[in-house]
Amino acid sequence: MNIFNVTLLAMSANSVAPGAQQKRFAAYLDRLAHAAGHLDRAVPLKSYCTGLLLPGERKSVEPMAARLCPDNVRQTHQSLHHVVAHAPWSDEELLEAVRQYTLPVMQKQGPIVAWVVDDTGLVKKGKHSVGVIRQYCGQVGKQENCRVAVSLSLSTAEASLPIAWQLYLPEVWTADKKRRVSTGIPPEIRFQTKPEIALQQLRTAVDRELPHAPVLADAAYGNDTRFRDGITELGLLYAVGIQSSVSAWAPGQAPLPKRKWKGIGRPTKLLRRDSRHAPLSVRELAMGLPLSAWKIVGWREGTRKRLRSRFAALRIRPAHRDDWRSEPRAEEWLLIEWPRGEAEPTKYWLSTLPENMKLRDLVRVAKHRWIVERDYQELKQELGLGHYEGRGWRGFHHHATLCIAAYGFLVAERSRFSPSARAGHVDLPVAERPRHFRPRGSPGARGAA
């Protein structure tokens, strides 16, 4: 009996009826294997997803092989390594299979309420692994040797699922032919900023006619005017973070109209500003608001109590380079958070949500981005998102895709029955590890760092 039959026979504790969960898992694995294409990939791909769901601190290939098949670690290791590092299956097609399985289950609990753009840093030593460079890493909150990936998630009020994932490749990497070859970066991959990658993911989601919802993102994306304009051009609304230095026109104000043509020279079409009529930073707008503009708003239940803070919202026109435009930008919301006890506001958002939107609803939507932080936490801590040890482009994306696939099954199970379902708690059997087995990199292992 192979590892999958053993696994499926054991997965029943959280099921409504005996055998129900193992049947769902078997059907899910079959769906993933079909999306991966070649029949030779089916068994190792299913094994890889199973290994990610097993308990264990390390989810790199070698420790998973030892858990899955302790009597044949070497051959299992080779099989898993090939399917993740070398097999040419499509990440996009497999993620599409995950979405088609998980999203309908999520939507039974409620509609899609947000499309969440985010990125995450994965700490990595050395300099030869694809995309690694010293840059800001949110995982540690500082500049660190790491690689960063951009994702798009679809979210209901209670659950979210990453549906797109791509490595951000710094320009020093895209311009280095030798490193491109050594890590297998596809020829069509060129340098893109993170907002450009995110817009590409949004376009694909729109093309697939997924249920529209407001796009949420932090200030690393919201500060980019072309990113916000791109969202609007796709027919989507947004609520995105911005920095306090972003400029805007005060409520009721706009750029000066074009100069009146006097019949000499070429007529100008550009809007104007001058020393007496100029936009302000959103911080200046916030600091000038009267006390009555600030309201206490709660947006969700925290671990101990309901989360609340002070907010104000006003209708403004973003002003970035509008003196190079012929028409003023449309009005939109400026949402500001100023917690009690703070010397000044701490967070700002721009939003194209409807003009008649109530303050509490603006806050609820803008704050919903937190949900992907929970996803990343579990993907990293429980499913080993950052544990892949290979250096190549294909392996990096394949490993992340399979982590998301394993997570998709957990999300579906939670949406059906058990909010506590998580990796290591899906009743998968854990074989006893070989007595003297030490994965590479573990303390006491031969060749450990």
Residues of the chain below pLDDT 70:
1-18, 259, 261-267, 418-449
418-446 pLDDT, tens per residue? 665 666 556 555 556 556 656 555 555 54
- Residue 424 in tokens: 């290591």
Cβ pair 411, 403 in contact under 8 A? no
- pLDDT for the residue numbered 391: 94
pLDDT attached to residue 449? 32
CA–CA dist 51, 391 (Å, integer)? 21
pLDDT at 14: 40
Q: What is the pLDDT of residue 1?
A: 39
pLDDT of residue 439: 59
pLDDT of residue 304: 85
Other Cβ atoms less than 10 A from the Cβ of 79: the count is 22
Task: Report the number of secondary-structure helices (H) and strands (E) in the chain.
Answer: 15, 12
The predicted-structure confidence for 259-304, as pLDDT tens digits, reads as follows: 676 656 666 777 788 888 889 999 999 999 999 999 999 999 888 8
Using a CB cutoff of 8 Å and minimum separation of 24, what contacts does 436-442 make?
437/66, 437/70, 437/73, 439/58, 439/60, 439/62, 439/63, 439/66, 440/62, 440/389, 441/58, 441/60, 441/389, 442/58
- Look at the alpha carbons of 26, 27, 28, 31 in this order and tell me if their dihedral is positive or negative: positive
Question: Contact at 8 Å (CB) between 160 and 375?
Answer: yes
Phi and psi, residue 375, nearest 5°:
-60, -50
Task: Provide the token pair at 339.
Answer: 């917690």
pTM over 0.75: yes
* pLDDT for residue 436: 61
Look at the alpha carbons of 393, 396, 402, 407 in this order and tell me if their dihedral is positive or negative: negative
Q: Are β-strands 238-242 and 347-351 bridged in parallel, bridged antiparallel, or unpaired?
A: antiparallel
Tell me the C-alpha to C-alpha distance, in Å, between residue 411 and each of 54, 109, 156, 217, 313. Answer: 16, 12, 11, 22, 34
